[in-house]
Homo-oligomer: A and B are copies of this chain.
Amino acid sequence: MDIAVWMEKFDQGDVRALSKIITCLENSNGLIPDAVKPIFSRTGNAYRIGITGPPGAGKSTLVDGLCNLYRKKQLSIGVIAVDPTSPFSGGALLGDRVRMTRVGFDAGIYVRSMATRGTLGGLAEAALDAADVLDAFGKDIVILETVGVGQSELDIARAADSTVVVLVPESGDGVQAMKAGLMEIGDLFVLNKADRPLADRAVQEIEAALDLKREHAIWNPPVIPTIASRGEGLDKLIDALDKHRITLQESGALEVKRINRRKERIRQIAERELRRRLWSDPRLRLLDKNVEAEENPFAAAHKLIDDFLKG
């Protein structure tokens, strides 16, 4: 079917069309079909929640629990779960399979797993594209869940209205979490698996680490103990998320966040488009072969760019 036909179905709320369009963007390599572009003018209605934390912290289970609670409030949800690819399995590990058993086939919940790409930054772009699509589709809540503690993964979780950092008692002594850059990006902290030993101490350590930055803020990040596997504490997390959203709205910070996010998107799309034009130029592909012989990589690279900009 033509992409324009899918767009019509998308506008009618067809979930297959939603999937189709996300896939189309994932495979577009930056060359977005014109028919799809209007989607990106229709964003800004969904509330975006970023969820991140170290591997094994129970993020997927927590997200499933949040989905169920939001559904009870009649809110529709889109989830983008960023999962590194394994060449062993040829695809994203666990993500979808585990989820299917939990959130089932509720039409109000859409879950999409995304695998890491070869190119640096490619995944962040694909994830943010998909978040915009879910937003334009009319989802009330869009959750961006990223595994890992890397810079690009954190950037994805940070591109949200509220960012939740999930830790577990074993994540260790706070210093490790700070070292991983997690303490800085959290608007809310969850201490999951709070029935495990040393959970109380872990909560205290996270709070102590947070105290260092509490002075200037309009919002003091709370630390919420949960046992996601039993659904315990998730209602408190939802309440805290609501409170954070209201604080952002009332202070005007939400509007500032969204303008900055929009600006960042334009920059990102511009860089992607420029990269695409650079590497899709057949003249440059030929040059690519020649430059390998040149001695200095700067000389080779600058020759490429000069030729490209000369047209």
Contact = CB atoms under 8 A, between A and B. Distances in A.
Contacts of A265: 297
Interface stretch (A1-9, A32-40, A72-80, A103-111): A32-40
B152 A151 contact: yes
Task: Give the number of times this chain occurs in the complex, counting copies.
Answer: 2
B88 A176 contact: no
Given A179-B93, A213-B87, A297 B151 contact: no
Contact of A300 (B55, B177, B266): B266
Interface in A148-176: 148-155, 170, 172, 175-176
B298 A269 contact: yes
A277 to B, nearest CB: 7
A181 B296 contact: no
A238 B7 CA distance: 58
A231 to B, nearest CB: 23
Interface stretch (A63-71, A199-207, A303-311): A303-311
Given A150-B148, A309-B311, A88 B178 contact: yes
Given A292-B259, A298-B32, A149 B150 contact: yes
A16 interface: no
Interface in A278-311: 278-279, 288, 291-292, 295-302, 304-305, 308-309, 311
A84 interface: yes
A116 interface: yes
A137 to B, nearest CB: 17
A305 B268 CA distance: 12
A147 B183 CA distance: 16
A273 B212 CA distance: 38
Given A40-B298, A120-B121, A309-B277, A266 B180 contact: no
A263 B278 contact: no
Given A120-B155, A259-B292, A263-B292, A304 B270 contact: yes
A122 to B, nearest CB: 9
A121 B181 CA distance: 16
Contacts of A302: 269-270, 273
7 contacts: A37-B298, A147-B179, A266-B288, A270-B278, A271-B275, A274-B274, A277-B305
